[in-house]
Chains A and B, each alone.
Chain A
Amino acid sequence: MKIRWMIVFFPVVSVIVLSLVVQQHAAKGAAPQRTASVASPSVSSGALTIPDTTLAINSTLPMSQRVVHYEIDAKYDASNHTVDATEVLTYHNLTGQALDHFPFHLYQNAFQPNSTFVREAKVAGNRDTGYEKWESKEYGSEDIKSLEVVGQGDLTSKLQYIQPDDANKDDKTVADVQLSKPIAPGAYVQFKITFQTKFPETQARSGWKRDFVLGGQWFPKVGVWWHGAWNCHQYHAMTEFFADFGVYDVKLTVPQFEVVGASGVRVGEVNNPDNTKTVAYHGDDIHDFAWTASPRYKVKEATYQGQMGPVQMRILMQPAHGSQAERHENILRESLEHFESWYGPYPYKTITLVDPEPDSAAGGMEYPTFITGDTNWFMPKGLALPELVVEHEFGHQYWYGMVATNEFEDAWMDEGINSYTEVKVLDSILGKNTSILNLAGATLGEREEQRLGYIGVADLDPIAQKAYDYYSYNSYGGITYGKTASVLLTLESIIGEDTMAQAMHVYFMKYRFTHPTKEDFLKTIEEVSGKDLRWYFNQAFYGSPVMDYKVLKVESFPVNWYEDKKGSRDKDDKNTVHRSYVWLQRMEDFVIPVDVEVKFDNGEKVREHWDGVSRWTKFIYEKKAKVESAEIDPDHKIQVDRNDFNNSYTAEEHPKAGYKLTNYWVFITQLLGQVVAWWAV
Chain B
Amino acid sequence: MAEHRGLLGGGWERMRHNKRYVVWFYGLNLALAWLGAAAFGNQAHEILDHSLQANRLVHGFDIGVLIEMFARPEFGSTMAAEAPAAHFALLFLIATALFLPGVLQGYASTFRLPRDDFFRACGRNLWRFIRLMIVAGIVMGAVAAALFGIHGLLEKKAPESTNELLLFEVRVAGLVVIFLVMTGLRIWFDLAQADVVLSDQRAVRRSIGSGFRHAWRDLGSLLGSYVLITIVAAIVLVAGLWAWMKFVPPASVLGAVLVSQLTLLLLLMPRFWQRGVAVTYYLQNMVEPIAVQPLTPVPGTSDPAPVVVIPSAPPETQGA
- Measured CB to CB, the residues of A under 8 A from B are 3-4, 6-8, 10-11, 14-15, 18-19, 21-23, 25-26, 28-30, 210-211, 296, 318-320, 358-359, 377-378, 433, 437, 440-445, 448-449, 451-452, 455-456, 629, 631, 643-650, 653-663, 665-674, 676-681
Contact = CB atoms under 8 A, between A and B. Distances in A.
Nearest to B49: A653
Interface of B: 29-30, 32-34, 36-37, 40-41, 44-45, 47-55, 57-58, 60-69, 71-72, 81, 85-86, 88-93, 96-97, 100, 129, 133, 136-137, 140, 147, 150, 154, 157-166, 168, 170, 173-174, 176-177, 180-182, 184, 186, 216-220, 223, 245, 250-251, 253, 256-257, 260, 264, 267-268, 271
Contact of B72 (A319, A643, A647, A661): A643
Contacts of A4: 216-220
B157 A22 contact: yes
Given A22-B158, A657-B44, A681 B97 contact: yes
Contacts of A7: 180, 184, 219-220, 223
14 contacts: A26-B160, A29-B163, A211-B162, A448-B64, A451-B64, A645-B53, A647-B51, A647-B53, A661-B40, A669-B32, A669-B36, A674-B271, A676-B93, A681-B129
Given A644-B65, A671-B264, 19 more contacts: A4-B219, A7-B223, A21-B166, A30-B160, A296-B162, A378-B168, A441-B245, A444-B63, A451-B64, A452-B64, A645-B54, A654-B48, A658-B54, A661-B57, A662-B41, A673-B33, A677-B96, A679-B140, A681-B96
B63 A443 contact: yes
A259 to B, nearest CB: 13
Contacts of B33: 666-667, 669-670, 673
Contacts of A645: 47-48, 51, 53-54, 68-69, 72
A363 to B, nearest CB: 13
Contact of B161 (A29, A455, A655, A668): A29
A377 B164 contact: yes
Contacts of B89: 669, 672-673, 676
B85 A668 contact: yes
Contacts of B53: 644-645, 647-648
A662 to B, nearest CB: 4
Q: Which 7 A-B pairs have the closest CB atoms?
A: A25-B161, A448-B64, A673-B92, A3-B220, A26-B160, A657-B54, A648-B52
B175 to A, nearest CB: 11
Contacts of B86: 672
A603 to B, nearest CB: 16
Contact of B157 (A26, A444, A631): A26
Contacts of A443: 60-63
Given A443-B63, A452-B67, A648-B53, A663 B253 contact: yes
A29 B162 contact: yes
A370 to B, nearest CB: 22
A676 B92 contact: yes
Contacts of A10: 177, 180
B264 A656 contact: no
Contacts of B36: 666, 669
Nearest to A681: B97
A669 to B, nearest CB: 4
Given A441-B60, A681-B100, A629 B52 contact: yes
A211 B72 CA distance: 45
Contacts of A660: 57-58, 253, 256
Residue of A448, A650, A667 contacting most chain B CB atoms (<10 Å) = A667
Given A377-B165, A645-B69, A671-B264, A663 B257 contact: yes
B170 A21 contact: yes
Contact of B182 (A8, A14, A319, A679): A679
